[in-house]
Amino acid sequence: MSLATAPRPLRAVLIANRGEIACRVIRTARRLGLRTIAVYSDADARARHVREADEAIRLGPAAAGESYLAIDKVIAAAQRSGADAIHPGYGFLSENAEFVAACDTAGLVFIGPPASAIAAMGDKAAAKARMASAGVPLVPGYHGEAQDDALLREEAGKIGYPVLLKASAGGGGKGMRVVESEREFQAALDGCRRESRAAFGDERMLIEKYLTQPRHVEVQVFCDSQGNGVYLFERDCSVQRRHQKVLEEAPAPHLPEALRREMGEAAVRAAQEIGYVGAGTVEFLLDAAAETTQENGSPFYFMEMNTRLQVEHPVTEMISGEDLVEWQLRVAAGLALPKAQSELKLTGHAIEARLYAEDPDNDFLPATGKLLRFALPLESADLHGRIRLDSGVEAGDTVTMHYDPMLAKLIVHGEDRGQALAEMARALAALDISGVTTNRRFLQRLVTHPDFIAAELNTRFIEHHHDDLFAAPHATDADIARAALVAMEHLANGTPRTDDPWQRSDGWRLNAPRRLRLVFQETDGSGTYEVIATQALTQGPAQGLTQEPAQATWQLQVQREGEVTSRLAVQCQRLDNDTLALTLNGHRQRLFARLDPASEGDAIVLTAAGQESRLIWRRADRADHLPQETEAKLTAPMHGTVVALLVEPGQTVEKGTPLVVVEAMKMEHTLSAPADGAVEAFHVAVGDAVAQGDELLAFTNAGADTKGDS
């Protein structure tokens, strides 16, 4: 039956979201013949979802509270556009019962569950109480209404550390902390409350025992208004950082079929218990350390239910062959579920990786900037059914500080898990992305880690393998040579065209081959390398490194700690704005290169075959900062808003003492004292917006030499 002739006719749908999920909904809605309406903030006026929709309506300023979270503005936009329904995506208003009620009042179909179901599961404490009464196993914890600090601390002590603090109204890792000891409890509680208040307008907390080796296994459920319910198998989302998922896969590895059925049926019962309609996810903790079932007869515990479509829904689509957004639209239109449980089949294995604009080597700080390149240049046959890139950005788009830093989701499918892993490694390497720092290299380390390949999974996977995943990569001689060529090419193209040869900076010498000395350093400050580059005499008087038709050939001498480690014959050819072809001893390689400003030079970022390397170019034309200068101040590591000042001006602190909390992209980041010393003065106040590099406070290092240079 057509959606236009369904019991609740749908002809036009407004997507009350942005980015990747808005683009995802637009694709299916358009395929089903629906008119699509996007909404946007001032920061998203030129965003991809705005470009792809049939229509788009401005909501307001960049701040989510004045745009995407403004219920009255979203409802007004839907009425103005003539939409029949609103799809909330995930995040923002997707689990807001007040928003559902407003849609009902305005005569708009909400593509999701009824307000009563959202309310039943939105309050995590109440939801756990209801699940307990229904016989669903729960993790030991405190889910009460009393929220006094002393009481919560006492309950945490009764449960036993480590405990997990969670926002009662929360989700998505917001307002959540693992607390290892009573000494850490108050600071963690304060931070959780701030995040919860900012994200959900509610600071109530619940406390649970933190299982040390659990797997996070969730079940995709779907219910219709006729009382039917099914589960579309499960996903393993154990690989997380800060309680946010990084990799997801379906089905869950090593899950016996009997346990799969038991968890699926329990999830459907949980959904039907609250009168659920639409797509939902019931999340369980599976005790990875359990060899036998627990006293309650099951090795899994109910954690929460997400009353919306999940970010990771594509892996379920890949193994089931179903379009879950289409299912959502049909159920919202009053139609029955497209298939019964017996008709659903699980085929193969799928893995999803979340690509973020962030720097994993710098505590996952969000990154901003303009995407110079963004594409997945694989053959069309690969992209049809086997590899999928769901994104909300394109080359030329700007990543701002205002919203979640996820750029895209890379999803692959294989006949089995081994093939899916191989496809993921290949697709990550093929991603053509530059201009913004991403977690691509970190994802590559994850999917090729022996324990991930062996499916030895738990929610502390990243923590347990920290040394492997965050090992500082040491540059090879080839990396150093490539960086030298990029620096030389930059100098050649940046040299002013002048008749005065003494003003050149590209190594020109009178009656002698051009010669350059370049110095590089690892990004962590270790490993200083020197390159002596001499133009080969056989090439003649080439005026630039990339001049056609004769390419200049250079002899590079790489030195480490004063010792020559390599001699290489090299050439460089620029293919386009940031693509180079470098030839080292006859080995030609295409790579992408860019220069990022750094405190003591330029960071040269090279990407070849999907592998990224970084070196600091210690440029002779840039003065080094004195140690006492870098230690005397703390700067904002990213764009954001100051939400807390944790010490008083003049206060003496120890190294590692938390000083300032900055919120960016809906997450808090705490800046700590770099050494023993004192905070002289704050240059910001709570509520101030700061840009990356802004000085936040003056700090006196107790061990610094205060005499300086005269």
Here the CATH number for the domain that contains residue 640 is 2.40.50.100
Instruction: Specify whether 531 is located in the same domain as 608.
Output: yes
Where is average pLDDT lowest: 84-88, 397-401, 496-500?
496-500
Instruction: Specify whether 281 is located in the same domain as 297.
Output: yes
Instruction: Specify whether 450 is located in the same domain as 481.
Output: no
Looking at the predicted structure, is the pLDDT value of residue 649 above 80? yes
CATH of the domain at 241: 3.30.470.20
CB 445 within 8 A of CB 469: yes
Instruction: Specify whether 308 is located in the same domain as 423.
Output: yes
Domain, as residue range, for 386 = 214-466
Instruction: Specify whether 602 is located in the same domain as 672.
Output: no
C-alpha–C-alpha distance, residues 233 and 316, integer Å: 7
Among residues 617, 636, 652, the one where a domain terminates is 617
DSSP-based helix, strand, coil % in the chain, nearest 5 = 30, 30, 40
Among residues 414, 447, 466, the one where a domain terminates is 466
Q: What local confidence, expressed as pLDDT, does residue 707 receive?
A: 39
CATH of the domain at 604: 3.30.700
Assess if residue 130 is contained within a domain: no
Where is average pLDDT lowest: 375-384, 514-523, 554-563, 613-622?
375-384
Q: What local confidence, expressed as pLDDT, does residue 544 receive?
A: 43
CB 206 within 8 A of CB 142: yes
Instruction: Specify whether 374 is located in the same domain as 508.
Output: no
Q: What local confidence, expressed as pLDDT, does residue 206 receive?
A: 92
Q: What local confidence, expressed as pLDDT, does residue 295 receive?
A: 44
Secondary structure (3-state) at 25: helix
Distances (CA, A) of 16 to 19, 22, 43, 51: 11, 8, 15, 15
Among residues 209, 231, 263, the one where a domain terminates is 209
Q: Which range scores top for mean pLDDT: 107-111, 128-132, 163-167, 260-264?
A: 107-111
Instruction: Enumerate the active-site residues.
Output: 308
Q: What local confidence, expressed as pLDDT, does residue 47 receive?
A: 96
Q: What local confidence, expressed as pLDDT, does residue 703 receive?
A: 64
Looking at the predicted structure, is the pLDDT value of residue 98 above 80? yes
């690509």: which residue's tokens?
355
C-alpha–C-alpha distance, residues 112 and 212, integer Å: 34
Instruction: Specify whether 388 is located in the same domain as 261.
Output: yes
Average pLDDT of the residues in 235-250: 93
Assess if residue 133 is contained within a domain: no
Q: What local confidence, expressed as pLDDT, does residue 258 receive?
A: 94
Average pLDDT of the residues in 497-520: 65
Q: Which residues make Cβ contacts (< 8 Å) with residue 697, sequence separation at least 6?
A: 633, 634, 659, 660, 679, 680, 681, 682, 683, 684
Assess if residue 472 is contained within a domain: no
Looking at the predicted structure, is the pLDDT value of residue 551 above 70? no
């369904």: which residue's tokens?
6
Looking at the predicted structure, is the pLDDT value of residue 670 above 90? no
Please give the share of the chain, as a percent, with pLDDT higher than 90. 51
More confident residue, 636 or 301: 301
Assess if residue 154 is contained within a domain: yes
Instruction: Specify whether 581 is located in the same domain as 482.
Output: yes
Instruction: Specify whether 228 is located in the same domain as 346.
Output: yes
Q: What local confidence, expressed as pLDDT, does residue 541 receive?
A: 45
Assess if residue 348 is contained within a domain: yes
Number of domains in the chain: 5
Instruction: Specify whether 258 is located in the same domain as 281.
Output: yes
Instruction: Specify whether 610 is located in the same domain as 515.
Output: yes
Looking at the predicted structure, is the pLDDT value of residue 637 above 70? yes
**Helix 324-332 with 19-31: angle, nearest 10 deg:** 70
Assess if residue 330 is contained within a domain: yes
Assess if residue 128 is contained within a domain: no
CATH of the domain at 183: 3.30.1490.20
Please give the share of the chain, as a percent, with pLDDT higher than 70. 87
Looking at the predicted structure, is the pLDDT value of residue 501 above 80? no
Average pLDDT of the residues in 593-600: 64
Looking at the predicted structure, is the pLDDT value of residue 608 above 60? yes
Q: What local confidence, expressed as pLDDT, does residue 122 receive?
A: 78
Around Cβ 488, how many Cβ atoms within 10 Å? 25
Where is average pLDDT lowest: 106-110, 241-245, 422-426?
241-245
Instruction: Specify whether 24 is located in the same domain as 144.
Output: no
pTM of the model: 0.76
Confidence of residue 507 (pLDDT cuts 50, 70, 90): low
Assess if residue 134 is contained within a domain: no
Residue 471, by phi and psi: left (phi above 0), alpha (psi -120 to 50) or beta?
A: beta
